[in-house]
């Protein structure tokens, strides 16, 4: 793997929010370990899980190869983290209606309230809306200390203290 292609902005773990998740016993040790490994695959500013060299969205198999993990285990834990709102996805609803499942590439993103690679005051407005429109954590009664927010007139969002 070429280290020269890695952008200088490193992923930041939101310790306050991880502490809330730990106190709620929301994540297993294996899920925390996968989140730790997935940080490396976060795109700068987007949190998209992408190949660090090509920028292409990563498939489960691609993640497993890149992280030197078993594909079946990665698939199991990614599915669990999707259900828990730690990993987010964009799916094509028309594919779901037609085939009953996604059949093409489905971009995956780490929840920026947990980990963000870039300036936490300049989170993509689309990523913020993805979190807020599908807020599994909040709907599960998990009230994080820091939440993403965005407004129609403020294009980038931010992760700030809960008001």
For the segment 95-118, what is each residue's pLDDT rounded down to a tens digit?
667 767 666 667 999 999 999 998
What structural domains does the chain harbor?
11-119 (1.10.10.10)
Higher pLDDT, 92 or 50: 50
For the segment 3-17, what is each residue's pLDDT rounded down to a tens digit?
445 444 778 899 999
User: Can you give the pTM of this predicted structure?
Assistant: 0.85
pLDDT band, very low/low/confident/very high, at 157 (cuts 50, 70, 90) = confident
Tell me the helices (H) and strands (E) count for the chain, helix number first: 7, 6
Provide the strand spans (E) within the chain: 11-13, 87-89, 108-110, 115-117, 146-151, 154-161
For the segment 17-48, what is each residue's pLDDT rounded down to a tens digit?
999 999 999 999 999 999 999 999 999 888 99
Q: Is residue 92 predicted with pLDDT exceeding 90? A: no
State how far the Cα of 102 lies from the Cα of 93, in Å rounded to an integer. Answer: 8
């Amino acid at each position: 793997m070429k280290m020269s292609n890695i952008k200088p902005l490193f992923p930041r773990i939101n310790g306050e929010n991880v502490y809330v998740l730990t106190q709620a016993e929301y994540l297993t040790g294996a899920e925390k370990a996968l989140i730790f490994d997935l940080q490396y695959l976060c795109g700068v500013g987007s949190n998209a899980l992408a190949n660090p060299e090509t920028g292409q969205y990563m498939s489960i198999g691609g993640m497993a190869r890149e992280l030197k993990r078993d594909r079946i285990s990665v698939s199991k834990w990614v599915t669990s983290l999707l259900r828990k709102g730690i990993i987010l996805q964009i799916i094509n609803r028309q594919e779901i209606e037609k085939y009953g499942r996604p059949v093409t590439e489905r971009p995956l993103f780490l929840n920026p309230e947990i980990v963000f690679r870039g300036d936490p005051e300049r989170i993509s407005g689309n990523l913020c809306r993805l979190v807020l429109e599908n807020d599994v954590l909040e709907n599960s009664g998990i009230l994080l200390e820091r939440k993403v927010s965005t407004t129609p007139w403020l294009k980038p969002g931010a992760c700030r203290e809960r008001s």
